[in-house]
Every structure is written in structure tokens, then in C-alpha cells.
Chain A
Amino acid sequence: MKKVIGLLTAVGMMTAPLAQAETVTVSGSTSVAHVMEVLAERYQQSTGKNVEVQSTGSSAGIRAAKDGTSMIGMSSRNIKPNELTPKTQKIVIARDGIAAAVNKANPVSNLTQEQISKIYRGEIKNWKEVGGEARPIVVVTRENGSGTRGAFEDIMKLQRVVNGHKVTAIAATAQVGNGNGMIKTIVANNPYAIGYISLGSVDDSLRALSVNNVKPTDANIAAGDYQIARPFIALIDQDTPQNAKLFIDFIMSKDGQRIVAEEGYIRVQ
């Protein structure tokens, strides 16, 4: 009896990877996952092949691509050389703007990059200093290590060096929300809040600010006028199964890039 059970288990374990090989696994950045899920769904509809998307965060996605736990890793921040093996390929699949967003009741509609930076450092504390009501600013940020936060800190120069390490310069008293959705909920419900989210996630529950008098539109990002933008990167290993490569080809195709644009991101092809 024991032998039979053991045999069955062994057979089960051997066949499981075969069954899974059909499914393309993708994991990583929550921001990229937003568009990747739509791409996966359309790909399934047109080819019948399964794609499984998990949003685990950029660092986890990079790690997954490196150790091969996922066929494709997603990152919304630039990747340090020591995070990759020489065999990993980086493919920019789209570009995304980061919007500084405020509540719809907030009269402020434009800030300079300098002002946003100072708000996040905690040097500007009241909306009246930037032309709004005389109310304290509720600063909302993403958690440490988030791709959106990393890119935002990079572009807005919100970094400083402590003990030889580069660390965040965002004030410790800022509220922290995990995920674009949480930031959206906080900003949409608080008239004095400011947060930053992926431009593709902006909807009519809140308002994206112009930065240096440039509106955060696709055209402005593609032209390089809107400065707060970052690449969406897919990572694949050279030895990854053919299935995963086909899915990447689909993303880079005209159809794939059209979906990217429909979702509010900027195409790269």
C-alpha cells in the first residue's frame, strides 16, 4: 500500500511540471501587473494559452526572473547589475508616467518639481505655501522598495546618503500606503492629501497635477516634456520556455502595444 501511494506521489510530482509548462508565469511590479493582466487576458483569448500574472513587487519580480521561479519578471524601476545574471534579458515593454495626485476638492492644479520635492522632504508643510488653502499637507507615499517609490525618488532627487548607503529623503512622518489602490483610496477620501501613483492608474476619483506647468499626458511623456516617467521592464532568461518568449513577442507586437496605449501607458514601438 505504502509503495503504491509513494509511486503515485512520484508520478504526480513528475507530471505536474509538464502540465504547468503550458502556463506562462509572470510576477513582479504591481504597477506593471496592472497592464500585464490585460495583456495576458487578450493573449489567452486570441491564442488559448494560459498566462498567470502575480503582482508581488519589482524586487520580488527581479528575484523571480533570476532564480527562475517565474518565466517572466516585471520591474518598474531600473535594475542594478548585481540583481541579474548575464543570461537575463531586459526588455522595455512600455513607459509610464508617475502622477502627483491630489483630491478633487483641492484648488491646486500645478506644482513645480522643486515644490513637490520639498513637500515630500517635509520642508513645505502647508497648502497655502503653494497657493492652496491654509491647511496642513497630508503627505502620502509608497512603502520602501516599491518600484513607483524608487522611480519617484530617483526623478525627484529624494535621496540622501546615510552611513554610506543611499536612503530615502522622504520625511518619516509621511503616511505610507502599500499599493497604488491604497494611495488612491487615501487621496480620494482626504481633501488635503497628496500622493503619487502610476499615471495609468489615475481615474476620476482624484486629480493628477501638472508639473512645471506640463500636463501628465501621453504626448507630453513621449515628447520628454513631462519629467516624472519610468520604463516598464520585462525580464526573461535566455533559457526560458518558448511559450514565454511568444508572449513577449505578443506584447511587443502592434496589437500588444495598442493594448498598452489603451490602458493609459506609452508604447515603445
Chain B
Amino acid sequence: METASKMGQVTTSLTPAKKIDWIERLFHGLFFISAMVGVISVITIGWFVFYEGLPAFKEAGLLNFIFGREWLPPALYGISSMIVASLISTVGAVLIGVPIAIMTAVFLAEIAPKWMANIVRPAVELLAGIPSVVYGFFGLIVIVPAIEAVFDIPAGNTLLAGIIVLAIMILPTVITISETSIRALTPTYKAGALALGASHIYTIFNVLLPAAKSGIYTGIALGIARAIGETMAIIMVMGNAPAMPGSLLEPARSLTANIAMEMAYATGIHASSLYSTGIVLLAFIILLNAGLLYLNRQRGHA
């Protein structure tokens, strides 16, 4: 702020300004307050979840809570089956969704003629705006019966149904961010590779994608965060049985579904244990972000 007011006076005098520039101050304050909204929210949510969740950790014991296999409130609080369900559904969604998303991003940025990109891109962006309850309903009416028919099982509300719905849900996030980061590369990379005689496909896989890596990682991380945090759609298609799933064709309950389904009714330690489930979820997301930071830093050093 001081620098700015000095600049204005440079032509007349070099003595520091005596008047306080209120507009400058106001905007500094405004920016600072805006920046604090996010930070304060995170701190408040974290504090609240820990405050509410700790009694359940004390009651059940941290290890019993995380590794226990039986969820029988108010006697036993074990969420290992839900941790497994959340992890498998997220990993599955990433394995299916990310390759499709990256190929779509390359298609949009490099291969598609302009008119076609102008059709595909809005379609993808529209996918991002669809509410998750609609994805859930789509899963329940289309994917669940399809799984019943294909695998000849009595109920299609399974982990697999959850994976497929999540894979579709993470597409727009990963596609949009990957495409933006590929387009943001300086054209000299592509021009240089082509000039050296590399084919277009070779250039995409060996020059453009590695160069856009950090943006793509960010897209994947946001996709994972969406998948692990998704609740409504998962409740509708995954069956929510609190038992350890024996295969992809069995129902399972994710961490988020556990919180959302039982919150309305829970009291006492049971309610607290749902906040503890939230702590575990928060821990996963922190690990994820830390992993992303690490990966991007590695790249920076290389």
C-alpha cells in the first residue's frame, strides 16, 4: 500500500505520503477477509468434527473403530468394511474414469475438429452440472438392472454399480482440468516434436501429456475427492449393507453413506461415531492432498 501511494508522488516529492489511502486499505481488507473465509471454514469444520467425534473414539477405541468389522450400534462400532468400500469404489472409479477422461481431454485439445469439440465440450460441462441425486436415479434405473441381467445376480445394488456411477461422475472434473492444462502448454513443445519428425500420436503421449502432468494430477486428485466424498448417488445404487463386501458383486456401504443414512436417527455415542466416520474421511482427503503436493514437488525438482 505504501509503495502505491509513494508511486503517485514520485513526480512531485520524495517525502512519504501523509494521507492514508482508504480505498487501498479497504480492498486489502476485503481480499484478506475473503481469503480467511475458506481457512476459517476448514478450521471450524475440523474442530467441530473432532469435538463431536472424539467421544466415540474413546468409547470404542481407535483401533477397534478403524479395524472392527462389525457395525452394530450401540454395541460395536467397526467401520473397516466401510473404509474398504470407500477405497474400492474410489479406486475402481479412477481406474475406469481417468483413462476415459484423459483420452477425451486429448481428443478435445488436439484431435477433434473445432465444430466437434464445440459439441463435445458443452456436453461434458453439462455432465458436471447434473445433481448427484439424478446420477443416483440413473444408476438405480439403468445400471442396477443391467448388472442384474449381465451377471445373473438377484440384486444389482452392488459395489460395481457404485464404481460405474462414480466413474461417470468424475469425468467432467478430470476432463476439464486436463484439457485446460494441455491447451496451456506453449506451442513450441508440439512444434518442436513435430519438427524432429515425431508423429502426432507420439507427440501426444511423449511430449504433451508428460508436460501437462501437474495439471492432470490436479484433475485426478479433484476427481478422487469427488468420488470419495460422493454420498447421494452412492446411497441409491450401492445397497448400503454394512458388511465386508466379498466381491464387486455384493452390496457395500461407503463412509459417506454411513454418515448420511444414520445421522437423522442417531443419538449419543452412535451420533458421535458418525462424526468419527467423518474424521476418517477427512484423514483420507488430507492424505490425498498431501500426496498430490508431494507428486507436484517431485516434478518441480526433477
- In the complex, B243 has a CB within 8 A of chain A: yes
In the complex the two chains form, is A172's CB within 8 Å of B155's CB?
A: no
CB neighbours of A177 from chain B (8 A) = 240
Closest beta carbon of chain B to A162's beta carbon, Å? 4
CB neighbours of B154 from chain A (8 A) = 135-138, 190, 192
- In the complex, A47 has a CB within 8 A of chain B: no
In the complex the two chains form, is B265's CB within 8 Å of A145's CB?
A: yes
A143 to B73 alpha-carbon distance, docked (Å): 11
- List which A103-144 residues lie within 8 A (CB) of chain B: 135-138, 143-144
Q: Which of A13-21, A84-92, A163-171 contacts B (4 or more CB under 8 A)?
A: A163-171
CB neighbours of B265 from chain A (8 A) = 57-60, 143-146
Q: A177-220 CB contact bits vs B (8 Å, 1 = yes)?
A: 11000100110011011000000000000000000000000000
Most-contacted residue by chain A among B70, B144, B157, B250 (CB, 10 A) = B157
A189 to B142 alpha-carbon distance, docked (Å): 11
Q: B140-159 CB contact bits vs A (8 Å, 1 = yes)?
A: 11001100100000110100
In the complex the two chains form, is A175's CB within 8 Å of B241's CB?
A: yes
- In the complex, B264 has a CB within 8 A of chain A: yes
Closest beta carbon of chain B to A65's beta carbon, Å? 13
Q: Considering only CB atoms, which chain B residue lies closest to A136 in the complex?
A: B154
In the complex the two chains form, is A176's CB within 8 Å of B261's CB?
A: yes
- List which A50-65 residues lie within 8 A (CB) of chain B: 56-60, 63
- List which B38-83 residues lie within 8 A (CB) of chain A: 70-76
Closest beta carbon of chain B to A76's beta carbon, Å? 11
CB neighbours of B278 from chain A (8 A) = none
CB neighbours of A83 from chain B (8 A) = 267
In the complex the two chains form, is A178's CB within 8 Å of B261's CB?
A: yes
Q: Considering only CB atoms, which chain A residue lies closest to B157 in the complex?
A: A175
CB neighbours of B250 from chain A (8 A) = 173
In the complex the two chains form, is A63's CB within 8 Å of B267's CB?
A: yes
- In the complex, A155 has a CB within 8 A of chain B: no
In the complex the two chains form, is B76's CB within 8 Å of A162's CB?
A: yes
CB neighbours of B157 from chain A (8 A) = 175, 186
In the complex the two chains form, is A176's CB within 8 Å of B72's CB?
A: no
Closest beta carbon of chain A to B117's beta carbon, Å? 38
Answer whether A174 and B241 are a contact pair too, CB < 8 Å, given A167-B75, A190-B154. yes
Closest beta carbon of chain B to A183's beta carbon, Å? 12
- In the complex, B219 has a CB within 8 A of chain A: no
Q: Which of A63, A144, A145, A173 contacts B241 (CB 8 A)?
A: A173
Answer whether A176 and B75 are a contact pair too, CB < 8 Å, given A63-B267, A138-B155. no
Q: Considering only CB atoms, which chain B residue lies closest to A137 in the complex?
A: B154
In the complex the two chains form, is A193's CB within 8 Å of B155's CB?
A: yes
In the complex the two chains form, is A172's CB within 8 Å of B242's CB?
A: yes
CB neighbours of B242 from chain A (8 A) = 172, 176
- List which B97-138 residues lie within 8 A (CB) of chain A: none
In the complex the two chains form, is B235's CB within 8 Å of A178's CB?
A: yes
CB neighbours of A190 from chain B (8 A) = 148, 154-155
CB neighbours of B74 from chain A (8 A) = 165, 167
CB neighbours of A63 from chain B (8 A) = 267
A165 to B76 alpha-carbon distance, docked (Å): 9
Q: Considering only CB atoms, which chain B residue lies closest to A146 in the complex?
A: B265
In the complex the two chains form, is B261's CB within 8 Å of A189's CB?
A: no
Closest beta carbon of chain B to A41's beta carbon, Å? 23
A164 to B144 alpha-carbon distance, docked (Å): 39
A57 to B242 alpha-carbon distance, docked (Å): 20
Answer whether A59 and B267 are a contact pair too, CB < 8 Å, given A138-B154, A172-B241. yes
In the complex the two chains form, is A185's CB within 8 Å of B140's CB?
A: yes
A192 to B145 alpha-carbon distance, docked (Å): 13
In the complex the two chains form, is B267's CB within 8 Å of A162's CB?
A: no
A171 to B250 alpha-carbon distance, docked (Å): 14
Q: Which of A60, A165, A173, A185 contacts B251 (CB 8 A)?
A: A173
Most-contacted residue by chain B among A164, A176, A190 (CB, 10 A) = A176
In the complex the two chains form, is B75's CB within 8 Å of A162's CB?
A: yes
**22 residue pairs A–B, Cβ–Cβ below 8 Å:** A56-B264, A59-B264, A59-B267, A60-B264, A143-B240, A144-B266, A162-B75, A163-B75, A164-B75, A165-B74, A167-B72, A167-B73, A172-B70, A173-B241, A174-B241, A175-B155, A176-B240, A177-B240, A178-B235, A178-B261, A189-B144, A190-B155
List residues of chain A with CB under 8 Å of any chain B CB.
Answer: 56-60, 63, 83, 135-138, 143-146, 162-165, 167-168, 171-178, 182, 185-186, 189-190, 192-193
- Enumerate the 8 nearest inter-chain pairs by beta-carbon distance, A residue then B residue, closest first: A145-B265, A165-B75, A172-B243, A57-B264, A176-B240, A162-B75, A138-B155, A175-B239
Given A138-B154, A138-B155, A175-B157; 14 other pairs, CB 8 A cutoff: A135-B154, A145-B266, A145-B270, A165-B75, A167-B72, A167-B73, A171-B243, A173-B251, A175-B155, A177-B240, A178-B235, A178-B260, A189-B141, A190-B155
